[in-house]
Structure 1
Amino acid sequence: MMPLVLNFPSVNLVMIGASLTQLMSILSRLRRFLCLSILIAVSGIAQSETVSGGWSNTIDVINSYSAENALTYDALVQELVFQASEITGLSVPLVLPRVVHADSETVSRYACSSKCRALAAYHPHHGIVLDHSIDPFSNHLARSILLHEIVHYLQDKNKFYAHSSDCARWFKREEHAYAAQNNFLKKVHSTTRVSMSLSKSCRTNNG
């Protein structure tokens, strides 16, 4: 029977490596917890902020869902912000985006310069607007639509393609958001996939 020979430097390196891996995992969870704590602390500011003009007369604030569901909706938005950040690699802002529901005509008006059919839109000054028919609690596709707009929020706050021309920026951001949305649908084991379509103006300007 051969004697057992231990290579102590190798054993120590393995132990140190395992300890570092465990430490990185703990730090990652701690970072997520701290960011979540900050978002919880300031989310009320974002949701109650007064917006002058714009949608103020035509949109019902998300709190119309009911007082019981308001905090649940905030928690969903917070979770989707982290999911979107993880998928895209974009940094998480300290303030949550404002989310509101509106009628189809209003959503389309803010999504397109011309008449179009849209279920959701993001506006840099007013936040995210969802069609009344979109309920992120009901199914993965509806949730992915909200995540798509949250990606636009992250793009805006991270100045993603901010120095590109208007059309190039629109195209790159949409391409990026649709890829993130499909990534999310894949993660939740949904068989649904979405695709983007170019606006006529962008097709014309870019040949």
Structure 2
Amino acid sequence: MQELINSLLVWVVASTGYEQPVELPRIEAVTHQQLIQTLCNDQFCTAVAYYDSNLQTIYYDERMQLTHDANARGFIVHEMVHYLQDINGELAADEMNCEQRIEKERQAYRVQQHFLQENQQSTHQIDLAVTLLGKICQHLD
């Protein structure tokens, strides 16, 4: 698994222009229920992975088959972008406005989309997510 994580990080670094970090992010499988509790306050949601900047750890749904599923690896790629943003000082949430936070999310989606395209996977859900991102800040104003 460590070899897979390393190769994904090398791919993300090459795709983003960030420098190769000294350390790999921690990556941990958790139950879907844990994801729902953490991200959705025990309400139904479709989340399968997230990056915790306090712990510099990527958590993913244990049901995902990272070694066999390019779509699953795409979620890890997305979260690795957030890891690189974080260690480069770009995720100071208290200093960013809504549009700046959304731009960081867009960057992660663009890299994920590129990864999926290279692996001959559909990007329809990514297209939809990016479209919806543009409306989030409007609803918060």
Fold-level similarity (TM above 0.5): yes
Partner of 2:105: 174
| Unmatched 5+ stretches in structure 2 | none
In structure 2, distance between residues paired with 1:136 and 1:82: 16
Counting only pairs closer than 5 Å after superposition, residues 124-203 of structure 1 correspond to structure 2 as 124-126=53-55, 127-160=57-90, 162=92, 163-165=95-97, 167-188=98-119, 190-193=120-123, 194-195=126-127, 196=129, 197-198=132-133, 202-203=137-138
1:120 equivalenced with 2:49 (yes/no): yes
1:177 is aligned with what amino acid? A
Tell which structure's C-alpha radius of gyration is larger.
1
1:122 is aligned with what amino acid? Y
Q: 1:109 to 1:175 in 2, by over 3 A?
A: farther
| Partner secondary structure for residue 118 of structure 1 | coil
| Unmatched 5+ stretches in structure 1 | 1-72
Q: Scaled by the length of structure 1, what TM-score is found?
A: 0.57
Structure 1 residue 199, shift from structure 2 partner: 9.7
Q: 1:175 to 1:164 in 2, by over 3 A?
A: same
CA contact (8 A) 1:120 1:145 kept: yes
Counting only pairs closer than 5 Å after superposition, residues 46-125 of structure 1 correspond to structure 2 as 73-112=1-40, 115=43, 116-125=45-54
4+ runs deviating over 6 angstroms: none
Partner of 1:63: none
Structure 1 residue 95, shift from structure 2 partner: 1.1
RMSD: 2.3
1:159-201: CA deviation from partner (whole Å, max 9, x where unpaired): 2364422x3343111111110001111222x131023244986
1:164 is aligned with what amino acid? M
In structure 2, distance between residues paired with 1:134 and 1:159: 29
Between the aligned residues of both structures, percent identity stands at: 28
1:146 is aligned with what amino acid? I
Q: Considering Cα pairs closer than 8 Å and 6+ residues apart, tell me whether 1 or 2 has the greater RCO.
A: 2
Structure 1 residue 102, shift from structure 2 partner: 0.9
In structure 1, distance between residues paired with 2:62 and 2:71: 15
Number of aligned residue pairs: 132
